[in-house]
Structure 1
Amino acid sequence: MNGPEILVSFAPELALFVPHERRGGPTRAVTDGAATLGHVVESLGVPLTEVGALVVDGREAAAGHVPVAGETVAVRAVSRPQEVPGAPLRFLLDVHLGTLARRLRLLGVDAAYESTDIGDPALAALSAAERRVLLSRDRGLLRRRELWAGGYVYSDRPDDQLRDVLGRFAPRLAPWTRCTACNGTLRSATKEEVADRLEGGTKGTYDVFAECEGCARVFWRGAHHDRLETIVGRAVEEFGGAERLSLSGD
């Protein structure tokens, strides 16, 4: 870029995305005189999914605003909890966030997940087609124009990832109501209904079951129940919960 100079400052929450020399107070940025403010901000490293407001000379401006020389721009972080247009709130996670997807499903949150790498264009297009919030740690993916809505996952630790997403988007929680394998809806099932899919030990030990209406997988209170219950309990205590199915999966 080689044109008008503007002064840009970034909220502290966005420091992860900007070079060290641009952190803190306003720094000079040179535009080409035609690029939109949104394009300028993203060229400086910050995906617009993480921007809450763009304030130009004290007034909020749209991402499509074309900066002129001498303007001062404050780039604010997205507010929390974040309002997402439309309902219901649904997510799409990229190939690297499988554990987070399963934990969101455990809490009853609609979380589609691509277990294979289908490519950035396809993921962004799927987000738009199904109106899902795309969650990723890939900054380039979150800058794609066809993306409907998105959010950067700030941690690489599943516990922190879950708290980050729940705190940012405040989805309605309904623990034990969604299949952790395929994202389908669970229903209560009798032992007789699922007996042909149970091994002898399971059939003789457990009496309460659920079945996925999507993939027909059977769930029961198995060996991992206590660990899963801890994840659910912590999330519900901090972020609240609603509907709750009285069983869990193994």
Structure 2
Amino acid sequence: MNRSDVLLQIPAELQQFLPPKLRGLPVTVPADGDSTIGHLVESAGPPLPEVGALLVNGQEVGPGHRPVGGDVVDVLPIARPQAVPGFADAAPRFLLDVHLGALARRMRLVGIDTAYHNDCDDPTLVIQANAEQRVLLTQDRGLLRRKNLWFGAYVYGIRADAQLDDLLRRFALPLAPWTRCTACNGVLRAATREEVEPDLEPGTLDRVDTFARCESCNRVYWHGAHGGHLNEIVESAQRTVASLR
């Protein structure tokens, strides 16, 4: 390593954020005396919300620290489970960006307070996340790098089932299956057969005895033909949470 450079030691958990040609190799960046460690790390690839402690020559420093040539920086991953500021005694709330609709439906299915819109731009997402104190989930590194975002997290995985599993492990989230509307995130309440009868086909009433209605959008829910697949999602989530105890 050139003595005018800073060596960034990127762990396996964060290697995916590096350019492919740098993965598995030492990462060196010039030390100009002005750039902070936070800037150098994000310039290399990993967004700061995915970074845990930063060690310079073995000593922990903040992201505003300015390294000098010859420094060795250990970039540690987020420690799991990760705490969300302000939610020590309550389950955190989430906001998902426009590309995570399938994950949003699964999160609501298992009872996680999940806001989602399929037509929001990045500034609007940040405004809502900050105003409602929601963790912004995204696979857009640029969105996570916005300085005015109060709290965000990268969603790992390609398929929604894997994404949900990783999210549960990261935040050790409590579950309350079948309590939220998968369409609007509203709270579900039990409904009688008489209450829902005007909204359902007669054949449905003949086959089903238990109903719920969303308090926000009035959508009616019951276990139908797709119940088996939904049960599998819920049971898998419950196994993940149980494994963390």
8 Å Cα contact 1:9/1:22 also seen in 2:
no
Q: CA deviation at 1:129?
A: 1.4
Among candidates 158, 161, 169, match of residue 159 of structure 1: 161
Q: Distance in 2 between matches of 1:222 and 1:143?
A: 43
Residue 33 of structure 1 corresponds to: 33
CA contact (8 A) 1:179 1:212 kept: yes
Q: How does 1:107-126 map to 2 (within 5 A)?
A: 107-116=110-119, 118-126=120-128
Aligned equivalents of 1:122, 1:35: Cα separation in 2: 29
SS of the aligned residue for 2:153 comes to: strand
Contact 1:9/1:23 (8 A) holds in 2: no
After TM superposition, the runs of 4+ consecutive aligned structure 1 residues lying more than 3 A away are 20-27
Aligned length: 238
The Cα offsets for residues 208-227 of structure 1, whole Å up to 9 and x where unpaired, read as 10011111111011111111
Show the 5 A alignment for 1:97-116: 97-116=100-119
Q: Deviations over 1:93-138 (max 9, x none)?
A: 111111100001000001111121x211211222111111111111
Cα offset for 1:20? 4.2
Query: TM-score, with normalisation over the residues of structure 1?
Result: 0.90
Higher mean alpha-carbon deviation, 28-37 vs 184-193, is at 28-37
1:10-159 correspondence to structure 2 within 5 Å: 10-20=10-20, 22-24=22-24, 26-87=26-87, 88=90, 89-116=92-119, 118-159=120-161
Aligned-residue offset at 1:25: 5.8
Q: Give me the whole-angstrom Cα distance separating, in 2, the residues matched to 1:186 and 1:99.
A: 20
1:215 aligns with 2:217: yes
2-structure distance, mates of 1:115, 1:83 = 27
Percent of residue pairs identical: 54
Name structure 2 gaps, 5 residues minimum.
none
Which deviations, in whole Å up to 9, do the C-alpha atoms of 1:54-91 show, x marking residues without a partner?
Answer: 11110111111122232211101111211111123111
| d(CA) in 2 for partners of 1:18, 1:112 | 30
RMSD: 1.8
Q: Does structure 2 retain, via aligned residues, the 8 Å contact 1:173–1:240? A: no
Counterpart of 2:231 in structure 1 is 229
The answer to whether the Cα contact below 8 Å between 2:32 and 2:68 also exists between their aligned partners in 1 is no
CA distance in 1, matches of 2:210, 2:96: 31
Following the alignment from structure 1 to structure 2, what is the Cα–Cα distance between the partners of residues 129 and 226? 37
- 1:143 offset after TM fit, Å? 0.9
* Structure 1: 5+ residue stretches without partners: 242-250
Query: For each residue in 1:37-61, what CA deviation from the matched residue of structure 2 results, as whole angstroms up to 9, or x when unmatched?
Result: 1111111111011101111110111
Q: For the residues of structure 2 that align with 1:71 and 1:222, how far apart are their CA atoms?
A: 61
Equivalent position to 1:199, from 198, 201, 220? 201
Aligned to 1:179: 181
Please name the residue that 1:9 is paired with. 9
Look up the SS of the partner of 2:65 in the other structure: coil
Q: With structure 2 as the length reference, what TM-score do the two structures score?
A: 0.91
SS at 2:203's partner residue?
A: helix
The CA distance in 1 between the partners of 2:85 and 2:241, in whole Å, is 21
